[in-house]
Structure 1
């Protein structure tokens, strides 16, 4: 943690504690806002489509433009934050995110809204890794770290769950434009807290020439990977369009790995990070959980509206138990984190999430909210809340200070890529089961299949935690001698 120097040790401690609290508050607001924007537009999509004249296929790009820019640029955002300062990059990303939100609310045609959503994603790609790196460096260990990451995970998941609530209420009573405008006051609050509570960055360090080629390859490869998968609603997996896009994406990502191994420049991400079981395992676990979690928001929202007939506002309210369950799970993760290793929480929370998704798989076309949604919402959300903070803590503990932005950018990128890939794949499977005849029964069959597959995905995540993640409470420190260049990077 970086504390402002003062004349007396006691005042320095008081000032440092206050700074840590404001840093946590700023990071919490940022994460809530970034997570909120992944789901807040979902319930508003029908109104957006009819108002701006979107086609049925074009409407999906209101979601995908944000996810593509966010997931594709996260690694670059993490490297830039490490290089030029976490606070500095956060204070650049916040206005960009706010401007995108403002312009999106004033959009008059589809292209304007899609561009605004892409600008939001670019801002989020700068914000998310910088915020998480600040959290990891401000709370390096002990009970304070467990509590801080518990707050972070609660805000992260609650933002996604409450986004559906806010989106429904704002769409029905204020207009869809307010699902964009709602971010502007959040940006103002985050900028105030960051300016007041986060210590000034040290002078930007020059660790060699930046790896521009690696940045281009990684961003293009990840963006094309997501782009290819999300278009499977138009082009089947076996089509030449999809296969060509995915092949190019794989070639670009393979080229990125070669460049990172051989470059004489400052690499975008040190590949030695993946030699650490905690970092690698936590990222794969997050990839799987992120895909299942994003699919749950999507399928449950559609089931409530298109099968049970709930309106936007009512659908939003019906997501409240899910939001509260995530908060409860996050609080439990903090309390249990004092006694159990993060690996054990990932296993227990994952198993609870599996039960919830399998329960969702039993939904029926003539069901009801109380019978088919309430129970599995609570079980699933508590399980997800138990998983989020331990995964983040494992993925960033033991990472050198100069790599926290890269590690957090990697984790955030993994979650967004997982969400996009999972939603696209499960959405395709659900669509195939539904078929061309859209009735409550056929739609229900598709959503039920999607939720059942989500349960299987989380089973795979639990098996990964059992076999890959270490049993110890903290991730082991990375051996910097694995990469001699790290010796030049270390800070006093």
Structure 2
């Protein structure tokens, strides 16, 4: 491959990463505008975020396996094409159903294209030093999307129309398709022919959908209604089917035995709780800033930018911090910071100013950044042949944790808001009461995650150098 093609391939995968990361957080600030225009209920609005995450998380491992079998280039191009077309549909949506369908298809496209990015970088940069530089560019682009997403979403929804948060993907996606088709040249997959884990994909996806539906729609149908109770039962049964199926197939989506490793299992639990807390809080804090504090979309977007900047700074420092004090201390301390920031947000009232909102968000951002050493720590404890599977599992767990975070925190908020409304409280006061209760639940759960991280990540540290065990413990 020529140097020009190699550079263009890096640009193509970086642009895809930017779009996928951007789409995870650009929507949040625009939610009130979407709700007003399409007349979404709160539970319906949750599906705008949850449909994307649900499909993304369900098919992420499947996409990785498909790339191994069919090749990364065709998966990159087809996934990007679907993501771009779905963005056009979502931007043109004139009804809640059309928007949710567009978001679900975006999630499917993202699940196809996301696993290809690092695989393509590894293939086109065989030299280790150049590959490390390329991965650094890839990470920086993702961080940039994290920082500008909320602000961009606020500016677009306030000064243009919310549909443009999806339309911006279309020209970028088309240009990236052309660039990727020209630049990415990879050999055809070789080696043992593998089968797809269809049973695992369908059972895990069915379980997640049944659980998400029951949590989001429980208030609407009634928690003791046959539909909701049936959904919870179906989720449990399908989860059991998934666990059994993964022990029977030759090439499972998830190697169940990995979860019994203390470091890996504890790391997965910590990642799940991290995503549960952060995704859920981002979603409902956007509503709080605009519906309760009456911030404009641009002001709400600006409120998240300093938090994102601190998250980036924390991620840069997380590796050295873990090396200096031990990952069990740095990650658990970071989780404790997130819990403290969420608890601090629960003290904000209906008259909070922009300056008063900043401290808890900054604490959450700093803690969120310092947890990034979690992935490297867990992968370092795994045998090399399992590193790829472990990475895919971590990405999937992050999406599932975020999905359930939005659903569960939303269920807590809605239940409390309804109780207060029945007592005669106005909308802002009722929403604020539900928001506070949801924050407390999330803070407690993230604090539990801090304890899990401390004990799980500590387990294998003494094995590296016995002479330093006194310093580490």
Tell me, yes or no, whether TM beats 0.5: yes
Partner of 1:10: none
Alignment of 1:26-425 (within 5 A): 28-52=14-38, 54=40, 57-131=43-117, 156=142, 159-160=145-146, 162-188=148-174, 191=177, 200-263=186-249, 265-336=250-321, 339=324, 341-371=326-356, 373-388=357-372, 390-397=373-380, 406-425=389-408
Against the structure 1 CA distance between its residues 413 and 457, is the aligned structure 2 distance closer, same or farther, given a 3 Å change threshold? same
The one-character-per-residue Cα deviations of 1:416-467 (angstroms, maximum 9, x if unpaired) are 2111212221222223333223443332232222222222121111111111
Helix, strand or coil at the partner of 2:270: helix
2-structure distance, mates of 1:193, 1:351 = 44
| Structure-2 change in CA distance of 1:28 and 1:407 (3 Å) | farther
User: CA distance change for structure 1 residues 384 and 148 in 2, over 3 Å: closer, same or farther?
Assistant: farther
- CA gap 1:210/1:73 in 2 versus in 1, 3 angstroms: closer
Paired position in structure 2 for 1:446:
434
The answer to whether the Cα contact below 8 Å between 2:263 and 2:381 also exists between their aligned partners in 1 is no
1:345 deviates by 3.0
The alignment partner of 2:46 has SS state of: helix
TM, length-normalised to structure 1: 0.81
Q: CA deviation at 1:195?
A: 5.9
Partner secondary structure for residue 262 of structure 1: coil
**Most deviating of 58-67 and 283-292:** 58-67
Cα gap change, 1:453 to 1:50, in 2 (>3 Å): closer
Residues 151 and 296 of structure 1: is their aligned pair in 2 closer, same or farther, counting only changes over 3 Å? farther
Cα distance in 2 between the residues matched to 1:143 and 1:76: 30
What is the alpha-carbon distance in structure 2 between the residues aligned to residue 305 and residue 195 of structure 1?
A: 42
Q: Distance in 2 between matches of 1:228 and 1:202?
A: 43
* 1:48-99 CA distance string (max 9 Å, x none): 3444455565443322321221122223222223333344423321111111
Q: Distance in 2 between matches of 1:315 and 1:279?
A: 37
- The separation in 1 between residues aligned to 2:375 and 2:410, in whole angstroms, is 27
Any conservation in 1 of the 2:46–2:407 contact (CA below 8 Å)? no
Residue 363 of structure 1 and its aligned partner are, at CA, apart by 0.7
| Structure 1: gaps spanning 5 or more residues | 7-14, 477-492
Return the alpha-carbon distance in structure 2 between the equivalents of residues 149 and 357 of structure 1. 32
2:445 corresponds to: 457
Aligned 8 A contact 1:278 1:395 in 2: yes
In structure 2, what is the Cα distance between the partners aligned to 1:475 and 1:132? 30
- Alpha carbons of structure 1 residues 378 and 47: separation in structure 2 relative to 1, 3 Å: closer
Aligned residues: 459
More helix by percentage: 2
For structure 2, the residue ranges without an aligned partner over 5 or more in a row are 465-473
Cα distance in 2, alignment partners of residues 206 and 474 from structure 1: 38
Taking a change above 3 Å as real, the CA distance of residues 433 and 313 of structure 1, as seen in their structure-2 partners, is same
Quote how far apart the aligned CAs of 1:245 are.
0.7
What's the CA shift for 1:285?
A: 0.9
In structure 2, what is the Cα distance between the partners aligned to 1:310 and 1:410? 38
Of stretches 66-75 and 81-90 in structure 1, the one that deviates more from structure 2 is 81-90
**CA separation in 2, counterparts of 1:54 and 1:364?**
25
Q: Given the two structures, how large is their TM-score scaled by the length of structure 2?
A: 0.84
CA–CA distance in structure 1, aligned partners of residues 210 and 409 of structure 2? 19
Q: Which deviates more, 163-172 or 179-188?
A: 179-188
CA offsets, 1:159-210, max 9 Å, x none? 4564322111101111111110122344356557756776625425444433
Match of 1:433 among 394, 411, 416: 416
